[in-house]
Amino acid sequence: MCGSVRRFHKALLVPMLWGILGVGCLKAAEPQEEVVQAEEIVQVERPTVAGRIFDVDVSMDNYLFARAAAAVFGGSWGSPIQTPEELEERTWEDLILSYEAFRRGVVVPQEKVDEEIGKLLKAEKVAFDWKQDRPAFEAWVKGRVGEPAVLFENQLKHLIQLKMLRDEVRESFEPEVSEEEALAKYITEYNSLELQMVRFDTLAEAEAYAAKVKKQPKVWERDFKRNEKNKDYIKTTGFVSFEWLLDAWKVPRNDLDAMLKLEGGAFYGPTPLYKGYAVHKVLQKRPAVPEEFDEKKKEQYLERVKTIKQFKELEKWQEQLFELADKEVYVKSGR
């Protein structure tokens, strides 16, 4: 996985090698110099233990390392982190997963770390060969995220280890998948609509507007032109699949099926959305053709549905693991 990194502000970064030394013991290697983004350094005493997972102490150094890794790489290795509370939650989830990866003996080859660094630098469009010009790489890391290159590399190694763990667990699940499920997935992806939407905060407003435009269709065009820049209430979806409309806009499936039967220019609604309600105008449609679901597509969609089910099982596994960890947190959030 590759993505951009974020500059990490307002935090104490403790450069060190992340390690879990000895069975049942979380311990970091000796920390190197502390890096702070401040003009004046004030020495303060801090606790040596941040909390406990699986009845094992988590050192403050390991906690700060995992927290910095989550903050620097943000959503590139998981869901986006928007708040201090989300950063704290991600930190402890990563610590729990890291302990499980150690317990299972998940080892990250250096080649994987090098590959990810290469992908990241390519995405950042750097002009140097990081393997040949180490000083340039170290300067880039320092300028980009404000930390030593060795810490940066160990953060990547840590995140790659978590991904390898998740992949290993996910691939261990063998859910049953029927041809009917594969066909249903194909139809959901191939059924497509292009819609105009006018969104309302309340159902009553949406119902009143639907009744109005069905009697006076020109009102729709007038309102669309007047308010087309108000993207929170006026939207043209583009020609998109049922899957996109289900996932992104949360339009109910029965409403999508009903709109697929309408002719272009027809009005429909209101329907619920992810936020509020909408009245729709159908611009164009493309129904899936079940007869085109040949053997090749069947195999593709059997595998696709299997992968979706594996990810759902992985989510359940993670939830159970986090519960079993019996986490105790001693450090204050955002320390």
Q: 43: pLDDT confidence band, cut at 50, 70 and 90?
A: very low
The single residue listed with the structure tokens 């053709």 is 289
Dist. CA 257–CA 179, nearest whole Å:
21
* CATH class for the domain made up of 192-287: alpha beta
pLDDT at 107: 94
pLDDT band at 318 (very low <50, low <70, confident <90, very high): very high
pLDDT score for 20: 33
- Please tell me the CATH code under which domain 1-177+303-335 is placed: 1.10.4030
> Above 60 in pLDDT, residue 24?
no
The answer to whether residue 88 scores a pLDDT higher than 90 is yes
pLDDT band at 45; cut points 50, 70, 90: low
Q: What is the mean pLDDT of residues 8-13?
A: 32
Query: Which of 71-85, 114-128, 274-288 is predicted with the least confidence, judged by mean pLDDT?
Result: 71-85
* pLDDT tens column, 286-310: 999 989 999 999 999 999 999 999 9
Mean pLDDT of 36-50: 56
3-state secondary structure the chain: CCCCCCCCCCCCECCCCCCCCCCCCCCCCCCCCCECCCCCCCCCCCCCEEEEECCEEEEHHHHHHHHHHHHHHHHHHCCCCCCHHHHHHHHHHHHHHHHHHHHHCCCCCHHHHHHHHHHHHHHHCCCCCCCCCHHHHHHHHHHHHCCCHHHHHHHHHHHHHHHHHHHHHHHHCCCCCCHHHHHHHHHHHHCEEEEEEEEECCHHHHHHHHHHHHHCHHHHHHHHHHHCCCCCCEEEEEEEEHHHHHHHCCCCHHHHHHHHCCCCCCEEEEEECCCCEEEEEEEEEECCCHHHCCHHHHHHHHHHHHHHHHHHHHHHHHHHHHHHCCCEECCCCCC
**CA trace torsion 69, 71, 76, 81 (10° rounding):** 140
Residue 159 CA to chain centroid, in angstroms? 14
* pTM confidence score: 0.74
Cα(62)–Cα(16) distance, integer angstroms: 9
pLDDT at 39 over 60: no
Q: Using an 8 Å Cβ cutoff, are 91 and 67 in contact?
A: yes
Residue with the bigger pLDDT between 259 and 32: it is 259
Mean pLDDT of 141-147: 88
CA pair distance 127, 183, nearest whole angstrom: 47
pLDDT computed for residue 41 by the predictor: 42
Confidence category of residue 6, pLDDT binned at 50, 70, 90: very low
pLDDT band for position 7 (50/70/90)? Answer: very low
Residue spans per domain, the chain = 1-177+303-335, 192-287
Distance CA 231, CA 158 (A): 40
Is residue 79 scored above 90 in pLDDT? no
Residue 287's alpha-carbon distances to 184, 194, 241, 244, 291, in angstroms, are 13, 12, 10, 15, 12
User: pLDDT tens, 181-240?
Assistant: 999 999 999 999 999 999 999 999 999 999 999 899 988 988 887 776 666 678 888 899
Q: What is the pLDDT of residue 105?
A: 95
